[in-house]
């Protein structure tokens, strides 16, 4: 059995939905869990004791947990969340960056406030919590980071420019941390979940019944575990299907000398041909495939 005995796991946004499901399962598998949530609405307004309720549930079931009501959206909040883990349990082994809000609007209706709030929680929130955690992970030579991306960011979805930009940004953040963390035993991966939560139940319609948050839990638990040797990857968990998602580069077309716009037009079919694609693991890796 995959266990988290002697390990400390931080789950952000764990007062509801997916984060709560992760927190309960980590605790069941022996982790001491920091349940972080400011307890606001789907759009990020207000606050409540949602984190404490989840802690109470874990403790009632015989587990170990500590609540943090800090917002991930500021560097101070991120530091305080990691400090809760250190103060209560003495270390941090795993961070699941899961906190999120929605401010969906079509592009021309998007106000700066809707952009900033979404970037602050999803993208900067993951920086704010992961950076102080990374320092502890580096010192102990071990860590697991999981970032919550979305199909809306990787593939696109109408009305979600702010959310999609933040969610695609999280893939970039995870990829670079996978490279920077390699020397220190730190693995970093991203997930793209589909689950029925308060955020999505209206959007999913009849599919909602097949999308319990518990269906995403096994993937996140595995990626957070000692057993996981994967890093620098993205996975989709949707309706019971678990799949790797990657950005590949086609073999492409090579010009002799400087190409013109007309050359690009003339060679589009070869530029777009997917057969024989590569999946580079860094900028240098891509350049190597070009030189080969
Ligand atoms: P949810 O609303 O149930 O959970 C999100 C939690 O994050 C809430 O409890 C909320 O209070 C908390 N949160 C919001 N702002 C916070 C802040 N500043 N600091 C701390 N906590 C904060 O929604 P969910 O569906 O469980 O979403 C979890 C994550 O999964 C989000 O990042 C979401 O974007 C992502 N996601 C969900 C789906 C899906 O199908 N449910 C799909 C793709 C991505």
Q: What is the pLDDT of residue 235?
A: 98
196 falls in which pLDDT band (50, 70, 90)?
very high
Instruction: Return d(Cα 8, Cα 183) in angstroms, integer.
Output: 21
pLDDT tens track for 35-93: 999 999 999 999 999 999 999 999 999 999 999 999 999 999 999 999 999 999 999 99
Angle between helices 161-181 and 125-140 (to 10 degrees): 10
Looking at residue 34, its pLDDT comes to 99
Q: Tokens for 24?
A: 């309960």
| Poorest-pLDDT segment among 28-32, 89-93, 202-206 | 202-206
pTM of the full predicted structure?
0.98
Question: To the nearest whole number, what is the mean pLDDT of the chain?
Answer: 97
Q: What confidence category does residue 201 fall into, taking pLDDT thresholds of 50, 70 and 90?
A: confident
Instruction: Identify whether 222 is a catalytic site residue.
Output: no
Q: Mean per-residue pLDDT for 276-283?
A: 95
Ligand 1 centre distance from Cα of residue 199 (Å): 7
So what CATH class is 8-245?
Answer: alpha beta
| Location of structure tokens 């999981």 | 146
Paired sense of beta strands 241-245 and 233-238, if any? antiparallel
**In whole angstroms, what is the distance from residue 185 CA to residue 183 CA?**
6
Q: pLDDT at residue 171 above 90?
A: yes
Task: Name the percent of the chain lying above pLDDT 70.
Answer: 100
DSSP the chain: ----TT-EEEEETTTSHHHHHHHHHHHHTT-EEEEE-----TTS-S--SHHHHHHHHHHHTT-EEEEE---TTSHHHHHHHHHHHHHHHS---EEEE-------B-GGG--HHHHHHHIIIIIIHHHHHHHHHHHHHHHHT-EEEEEE--HHHHT--TTBHHHHHHHHHHHHHHHHHHHHHGGGTEEEEEEEE---STTTHHHHGGGGGG--GGGTHHHHHHHTSTT----SEEEEEETTEEEEE---B------SSSPPHHHHHHTHHHHH--TT-B--SSHHHHHHHHH-
Q: According to the model, what pLDDT value does residue 117 have?
A: 98
Say yes or no to pLDDT of 292 above 90.
no
Question: Which residue bears the tokens 């969906």?
Answer: 104
pLDDT at 203 over 90: no
Q: What is the pLDDT of residues 6-17, one digit of tens each?
A: 999 999 999 999
Sorting pLDDT into bands at 50, 70 and 90, what band is 275? very high
Mean per-residue pLDDT, 229-242: 98
At residue 76, the pLDDT reads 98
Pocket of ligand 1 (CB under 6 A): 12-13, 15-19, 36-40, 42, 44, 50, 71-73, 98-101, 121, 125, 148, 150, 193-195, 197-200
* Over residues 107-133, mean pLDDT: 98
Domain ranges of the chain: 8-245, 248-292
pLDDT value of residue 147: 99
The CA distance from 17 to 20, in Å, is 6
- Which is catalytic among the residues 22, 163, 222, 277? 163
Rounded Cα–Cα distance for residues 140 and 46 (Å)? 37
% of the chain with per-residue pLDDT over 90: 97
What is the whole-number distance in angstroms between the Cα of residue 255 and the centre of ligand 1? 46
Residue with tokens 């970093």: 188
- Which of 13, 127, 203 to probe ligand 1 with, by most ligand atoms within 8 A of CB? 13
| Burial class (CB within 10 angstroms; exposed 0-12, middle 13-18, buried 19+) of 6 | exposed
Closest CA to 145 of 133, 163, 153, 154: 133
Q: 98 CA distance to ligand 1 centroid (A)?
A: 6
Which residue among 12, 15, 17 is best mutated to probe the pocket of ligand 1, counting the most ligand atoms within 8 A of its Cβ? 17
Inform me whether the pLDDT recorded for 134 exceeds 90. Answer: yes
State the pLDDT at residue 45: 95
* 202 has a pLDDT exceeding 90: no
Closest residue CA from atom 17 of ligand 1: 71
Report the complex ipTM. 0.99
């Amino acid at each position: 059995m995959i266990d988290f005995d002697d390990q400390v796991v931080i789950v952000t946004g764990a007062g509801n939905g997916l984060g709560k499901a992760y927190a309960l399962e980590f605790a069941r598998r022996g982790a001491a869990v920091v349940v972080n949530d400011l307890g606001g609405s789907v759009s990020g307004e207000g606050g409540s004791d949602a984190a404490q309720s989840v802690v109470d549930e874990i403790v009632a079931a015989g587990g170990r947990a500590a609540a943090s009501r800090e917002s991930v959206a500021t560097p101070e909040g991120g530091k305080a969340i990691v400090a809760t883990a250190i103060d209560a349990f003495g270390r941090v082994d795993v961070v699941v960056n899961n906190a999120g809000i929605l401010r969906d609007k079509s592009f021309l209706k998007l106000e700066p406030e809707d952009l900033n709030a979404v970037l602050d929680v999803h993208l900067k929130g993951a920086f704010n919590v992961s950076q102080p955690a990374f320092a502890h992970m580096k010192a102990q030579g071990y860590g697991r980071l999981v970032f919550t991306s979305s199909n809306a960011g990787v593939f696109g979805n109408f009305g979600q420019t702010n959310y999609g930009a933040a969610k695609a940004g999280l893939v970039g953040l995870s990829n670079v941390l996978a490279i920077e963390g390699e020397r220190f035993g730190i693995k970093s991966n991203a997930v793209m979940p589909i689950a029925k939560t308060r955020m999505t139940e209206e959007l999913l319609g009849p599919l909602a019944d097949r999308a319990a948050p518990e269906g995403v839990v096994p993937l996140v638990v595995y990626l957070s575990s000692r057993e996981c040797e994967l890093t620098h990857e993205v996975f989709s968990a949707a309706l019971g299907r678990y799949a790797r998602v990657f950005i590949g580069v086609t073999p492409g077309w090579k010009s002799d000398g400087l190409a013109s716009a007309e050359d690009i037009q003339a060679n589009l079919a070869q530029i777009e041909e997917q057969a024989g694609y590569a999946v580079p693991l860094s900028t240098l890796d891509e350049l190597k495939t070009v030189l080969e």
